[in-house]
A and B are shown apart, each in its own frame.
Chain A
Amino acid sequence: MAAFSEQDFLSTANEMKEVESARVIVGITREEKNAQLVERIFRLLCLSAAFLPLLILAFLVGNTVISGLERIDLDFLTGFPSRFASKAGILPALIGTFYLMLLTTIIALPLGVASAIYLEEYAKDTWFKSLIELNVTNLAGVPSIIFGLLGLELFVRALGLGPSLVAGALTLSLLILPVMITATREALKTVPKNLREAGLALGGTKLSVTLRVVLPLAMSQIITGAILSIARAIGESAPIIVIGAATYLAFLPNGLLSEFSALPLQIFQWVERPQADFVENASGAIVVLLAILAIFNLSAAWLRHHKEKSRGSL
């Protein structure tokens, strides 16, 4: 696809000259005024395009938080699902989400970081490297529900894990792996090349330079990327629905092979109910989920900010 070429530019220039001569013929003042008006209107339109989505989001979230906060109390946070909306709580879903988060971090973080280190530090420009790169790009575009189908056949059935916590965590790990790899690579890229060379010149091996120079410098950004990837996994519902996670769980998950539920799933189940009380429950669970995600995002933002500051002092 051609970018802006010289020829484009010349034709543009010609068009502009015509505009200019037209301006001279008609008389500048009225033309100018109209043009200014059009420009102002256009500017206003663009401005509203940027702010409208934000205002609408604020409205929707605000609405939900108001009705959700009314529903949240200790019983709601520590209760189990129930046929009666007013008695139902989110504890199993909350604990499930917590375990999923933990397991997904344990599985996806080492894999993602190791892959990124390989691609950034070790791999030479061979077909293997470009194959992995192409593959990571493509995986990032695969809909999350397709990962659910993979998890269902591979983890739930072929490996016989059933619709268990570990099957869910493995599925989510594969889902966020491309994001994790890309984020870690970006982090590694920020470490200046001369620091690596200095390490090697001092007699360090590639491994020791990676471990003692590159990783420490890239660490905070790697963690930022990891936090954001995990946040994405926590909010996912489609893949864990497909692998068969429970929407109604009367006990807490008590092991890797235990059945599990998760907050997004609980929300989905309640939204689907026609009764208004259950929908109110959903808004309560949404507030909890958004609060967890907000903590994740704020800590990522804080880390990024913190890093910029420490870099300034270097």
Chain B
Amino acid sequence: MKCDLASQRRAERMMVASVETILKASAAISILVTVGVLYVLITKTFDFFEQIPPSAFFFDTVWTPLFETKRFGIWSLVTGSLLVTSVAMITAAPLGIMASIYLSEFASPKIRGLVKPLLELLAGIPTVVYGYFALTIVTPGLMKIIPHLSGFNALSPGIVMGFMLVPTVSSLCEDAMYKTPRYLKEAAYSLGARKLSTIFLVVLPYARSTIIAALFLAFARAIGETMIVAIAAGLKPNFTLDVRQPIQTMTAYIVQVSMGDTPQQSIEYLTIFAVGATLFLLTFIFHSTSKIILRSRFTVTT
């Protein structure tokens, strides 16, 4: 009897231990994913640089790996990405910040509860659908207003992406503004401040670091965004700052190569990993800056 109980206990303990091991192993898989991403990008990029000298990659502005005369200047893809991203940020930043001011400072609780989830919808639409919007509706519309706008351009996908990113900016900002301690606002009011000056001198400074973090986050998303630019920005690597011209982003280049049949280990195949590594590095910098700002902010306030 006693012996029975003891063995039962032992079995129970083993079961508990094994369950914990299984759970721990599942959690560890996410680390393996990161290791996998880094391994793939690094090894393939090394393979790439064995055939192409780094100087041809970093100090050239012409990107033509798919042509007869191959050149590998990454800068025309990077500027393409940054150009679209800039347009997106110029659209998303004012809209997102002002929308959050409206939601946290002006809107009634009822409207706030209604508009917030509706804005989140913008982030839930598949990006391929946004690409369709940009190419078939927004670009033709813009062509009527803007002379010399090419059918593929950086402007239209940038604007559409900006609208997609509004909830990315506004949900973080709105939370931070809404959390402005009541006593700070009341102190301002008691000193005779109007609502407007309270917003600019109390609420916005209070939310400042979160606003900056939200903008960094949106920037990281914009650089990594693929389908909108693959559909509406064109496939022409172009070292330019003119938003009316067709360009190609890093992401769109990877899509272009993937849609074709490039033999494995060919230089064309390796380029997508070199471009992917560049993209990864850029998004990682912006994304972690955003997270670092957010984290340090929370440790200060709580």
Contact = CB atoms under 8 A, between A and B. Distances in A.
Given A60-B137, A64-B132, A146-B37, A135 B300 contact: no
Interface stretch (A79-87, A111-119, A186-194, A252-260): A111-119
Interface in A204-237: 205-207, 231-232, 234-237
Main SS of the interface on chain B? helix
B224 A143 contact: yes
Interface in B1-40: 12, 15-16, 19-20, 22-24, 26-31, 33-34, 36-37, 40
A35 interface: yes
B272 to A, nearest CB: 7
B113 to A, nearest CB: 13
A295 interface: no
Interface string B233-244: 000000000000
Interface string B196-224: 11000110011011001000010011011
A238 B105 CA distance: 38
Contacts of A63: 137
A268 B128 contact: yes
Contact of B226 (A145, A272, A283): A145
Interface in A31-49: 35, 38-39, 42-43, 45-47, 49
A19 B288 contact: no
Interface stretch (A51-59, A70-78, A98-106): A51-59
B283 to A, nearest CB: 6
Interface string A137-159: 11101111111111011100100
Nearest to A35: B194
A271 B231 contact: yes
Given A144-B226, A242-B258, A268-B231, A47 B106 contact: yes
Interface in A151-201: 152-154, 157, 174, 177-178, 181
Interface range on chain B (Cβ under 8 Å from partner): 35 or more
B20 A4 contact: no
A1 interface: yes
Contacts of B272: 149, 242
Contacts of A115: 23, 26-27, 29-30
Contacts of B128: 235, 237, 264, 267-268, 271
A307 B80 CA distance: 46
A306 interface: no
B155 interface: no
B102 A50 contact: yes
Contacts of B34: 135, 138-139
B294 to A, nearest CB: 9
Given A264-B128, A267-B132, A268-B128, A132 B28 contact: yes
Interface residues of A, number: 95
Q: Which of B96, B136, B197, B208 has the most CB of A within 10 A?
A: B136
A51 to B, nearest CB: 8
Contacts of B231: 268, 271-272
Q: Which of B94, B184, B230 has the most CB of A within 10 A?
A: B230
Contacts of A9: 184, 187
A293 interface: yes
Contact of A45 (B23, B27, B98, B163): B98
A50 B63 CA distance: 40
A129 to B, nearest CB: 8
A54 B33 contact: no
B251 A143 contact: yes
A267 to B, nearest CB: 5
A138 B288 contact: yes
Contacts of B208: 1
A278 to B, nearest CB: 11
B225 A114 contact: no
Nearest to B123: A232
B136 A271 contact: yes
A282 B221 CA distance: 25
A136 interface: yes
A291 interface: no
Contacts of B106: 43, 46-47
Contacts of A110: 26
Given A117-B23, A177-B33, A242-B272, 12 more contacts: A16-B191, A23-B192, A49-B95, A53-B163, A114-B23, A115-B30, A118-B20, A141-B217, A150-B33, A174-B33, A177-B29, A237-B227
